[in-house]
Amino acid sequence: MRVAVIGSGYVGLVSGACFADFGHTVVCVDRDADKISALRRAVLPIYEPHLDGMVASNLADERLSFSTDLATAVASAEVIFIAVGTPARARDGQADLSFVFDAVREVAVALSGYAVIVVKSTVPVGTGDEVERIVRELRPQLDFAVVSNPEFLREGAAINDFKRPDRIVVGAEDERARAVMEELYRPLFLNKAPILFMGRRSSEMTKYAANAFLATKIAFINEVADLCEQAGADVQDVAHGIGLDKRIGAKFLHAGPGFGGSCFPKDTQAMIAMAQAHGAPMRIVETAAASNDHRKRIIARKVIAACGGVRGRTIAILGLTFKPNTDDMRESPAISIITALQDAGARIRAYDPEGMDQARAMIANVSYCLDAYDCVVDADAVVIVTEWDVFRALDLDRLRGAMARPILVDLRNVYGPERVEKAGFRYVGVGKGDADAGKPNRVIPLALAG
């Protein structure tokens, strides 16, 4: 099939490359001429494992191309994906749909025959209806369909998520559009990926509901971790114990410094705003978002307490991106942690395998280092913020030998306390209650005290 993808950011680029890899002919469109010029040379604006090779191979086979010419790309396309950004509006947290509607207007003018306009961007419920209204207003006689097809891609695992999805959600209002989407995704039927057809509004809601639920799950286990620290329990044991319950599931039950990235913070705020606008407030989601914001302050205080204060001290930060296997710094917990430590008087050294360039543009007065061992030189503490694989098997003796004080704050529970303490470190993890919890010098619940 002939496919046009409007927007060559994370979602558009991954989607376009994967569709081309299926054998479709894909043109990815973007207004940024420098980005398009780089993409034509297989130089990517983002880091995503294996994406560069996929782009290069499909460019060479002429299934994938890049252009700034939207009109030409759309004129011959059977399916047009809208994959532009929907950032949160500063004034109210709602999704800014201006980029979506601008793209739709250009598409409407350029269409020459029947096509399916697919909204891939994350948009509030009812956006598809407005897209259809805009197109009909501009081209009353045009034969077209508007479909919702939200993405469920995890940064760092996007190609696998696209090719082996848990489900494909399609909001289509007519059978002709449904048939087109079935043909587009037919290569995935071999992997038995379920394609779920529903109404457009239900499809749009599914995306927000999924992200809000996962964000709530993260906020929940982080609050459990705080309770574990006070009550003498181990959050990793607790998470394992509840995660084996199939009604709960083990994923997204890893305690840490809180969620970040381009999706969860933005989408939870957009869902909260959407719910308030419809007079059906989402109190649980509101609380999860507030809990996550508070989490960042708690974590910064944890680091400061572990060091007995940080004024005049050097703190080594390992991991800057919001998660491993990406260079995305958006809403990364590292930003808030570093800022709080700097405000408390600390000097910061930092290293990340992929996020250094992004971090330099966002965080000032930081010494960016060559690797983990360079980062900890003369440091008073080392803090693991992002669980990159390269940080999972560090030479602890070498690490300790380079540091001024042997303190390791493990915000992702990568290491076990015994191993780290055996290497001569003071270890501070997340959700690890101390051995004295529950003894008489602790507050014991009345139900247990009688």
Q: Are strands 381-384 and 366-368 parallel, antiparallel or unpaired?
A: unpaired
**Torsion region of 159: left, alpha or beta (phi above 0 gives left; psi -120 to 50 gives alpha):** alpha
Q: 266 with 373: CB under 8 angstroms?
A: no
Provide the phi-psi class of 438: left if phi over 0, else alpha when psi is between -120 and 50, else beta: left
2-198 and 234-428 agree in CATH topology:
yes
Q: Kindly list the domain boundaries of the chain, sorted by start residue.
A: 2-198, 234-428
DSSP, residue by residue, 267-325? HHHHHHHHHHHTT---HHHHHHHHHHHHHHHHHHHHHHHHTT--TT-EEEEE--SSSSS
Evaluate whether 409 touches 306 at the Cβ level (below 8 Å).
Answer: yes
Q: What is the mean pLDDT of residues 1-11?
A: 97
pLDDT value of residue 435: 53
Is the four-CA dihedral 334, 339, 341, 346 of positive or negative sign? positive
Token reading at 212: 């809000």
User: How far is Cα 39 from Cα 83, in angstroms, rounded to an integer?
Assistant: 17
**Among residues 18, 28, 228, 263, which one is catalytic?**
263
Would you say domain 2-198 falls under CATH 3.40.50.450?
no
Confidence of residue 297 (pLDDT cuts 50, 70, 90): confident
| Per-residue pLDDT, 92 | 85
**Mean pLDDT (whole number) for 290-310:** 94
**Predicted pLDDT of residue 421:** 95
Work out the pLDDT band at 237, boundaries 50, 70, 90: very high
| pLDDT bracket for residue 449 (50, 70, 90) | very low
Measured over the CA atoms of residue 30, residue 22, residue 327 and residue 43, the dihedral's sign is: negative
Q: To the nearest whole percent, how much of the chain has pLDDT over 90?
A: 92
Q: What is the pLDDT of residue 193?
A: 82
Residues 359-394 pLDDT 10s: 999 999 999 999 999 999 999 999 999 999 999 999
**pLDDT category of residue 189 using cuts at 50, 70 and 90:** confident
Q: Is the pLDDT of residue 126 over 90?
A: yes
What mean pLDDT comes out for the span 17-44?
A: 97
On average, the pLDDT of the chain sits at 94
List pLDDT tens digits, range 259-295: 999 899 999 999 999 999 999 999 999 999 999 999 9
200 token code pair: 């457009």
Instruction: Evaluate if residue 18 carries a pLDDT over 80.
Output: yes
Containing 3, the helix (H) or strand (E) segment is strand 2-6
Model confidence at 231: pLDDT above 80: yes
The two tokens of residue 93 are: 């947290």
Q: Would you state the pLDDT for residue 439?
A: 46
Burial class (CB in 10 A: 0-12, 13-18, 19+), 349: buried
Residue 11 has which token pair? 């979602």
Is the model's pLDDT at 444 over the cut of 60?
Answer: no
Which tens digit of pLDDT belongs to each residue from 43-100? 999 999 999 999 999 999 999 999 999 999 999 999 999 999 999 888 888 899 999 9
**In the structure, what pLDDT confidence band is assigned to residue 254 with cuts at 50, 70 and 90?**
very high
- Amino acid identity, position 84: V
Q: What are phi and psi of 64, to 5 degrees?
A: -125, 135
Whether residue 448 is predicted with pLDDT greater than 50 in this model: the reply is no
442 pLDDT exceeds 80? no
Q: By 3-state DSSP, what share of the chain in percent is helix, strand and coil, each rounded to 5? A: 45, 15, 40
The helix/strand/coil state of 370 is coil
Q: Check pLDDT > 80 for residue 358.
A: yes
Report how far residue 450's alpha carbon sits from residue 447's, in angstroms, rounded to the nearest whole number: 6
- Mean pLDDT value across residues 175-179: 97
CATH of domain 234-428: 3.40.50.720
- The number of CA neighbours under 13 Å toward the Cβ of 330 is 13
Enter the tokens of residue 147.
């479909």
CB-based contact 296:325 (threshold 8 Å): no
* 263 annotated active-site: yes
